[in-house]
Amino acid sequence: MEHVISGINHWILELPRALGQMSETETSHRPAPNKWSKKEIVGHLCDSAINNMTRFIKMQYEEQPYAIQPYDQDQWVSEQHYQDQTLEEVLTLFIVLNQQIITILSSVPKEKLSYLCIIGSHQQETFDWLINDYLEHMDHHINNQILTRSKA
């Protein structure tokens, strides 16, 4: 759990610093009509935080195995209008949501980490796996799409 909390804290500090070195044009540029801008990718990470925050809370008290409800990621990014917001607004949301996730994760009793959830049609995973997957998802988007994408 400390690894995940440390990783989330790292991105809370590092992502604003890294994006702050980029122009508004670069953070708002969509590489293709059906691809998200860097700002929208951060927005997607906010949507992930919102959905996973709910999962992290419900996993602790709902009947096991807890059925994970999917969400339409493209629709969420579109309806949230991240592209029309300033980078500062989107980053503020990212920071606040992830600080709350850290608060939640810091209080999860160890015995609950073995609780089960159902992902997709029948795949079962542990709560611990779900928590680690949250950070892996964040790492993937930040390292492979936000920090490595070349300038427009």
Q: How many Å apart are CA 38 and CA 28, to the nearest integer?
A: 6
Residue 149: per-residue pLDDT: 55
In a domain, 54, yes or no: no
Looking from the CA of 101 toward its CB, the CA atoms found within 13 Å total: 34
Name the region of 32 (left: φ>0; alpha: ψ -120 to 50; beta: rest): beta
Residue 29: per-residue pLDDT: 96
Pairing of strands 123-126, 116-119: antiparallel
pLDDT in tens, the chain (152 residues): 899 999 999 999 999 999 999 999 999 999 999 999 999 999 999 999 999 999 999 999 999 999 999 999 999 999 999 999 999 999 999 999 999 999 999 999 999 999 999 998 889 999 999 999 999 999 999 999 999 854 44
Q: How many Å apart are CA 15 and CA 42, to the nearest integer?
A: 9
Instruction: Flag whether the pTM goes above 0.75.
Output: yes
H or E element in which residue 122 lies = none
Residue 5: per-residue pLDDT: 98
Residue 79 lies in domain = 1-19+60-152
Q: Count of domains in the chain? A: 1
For the domain that residue 109 is a member of, what is the CATH number?
1.20.120.450
In a domain, 53, yes or no: no
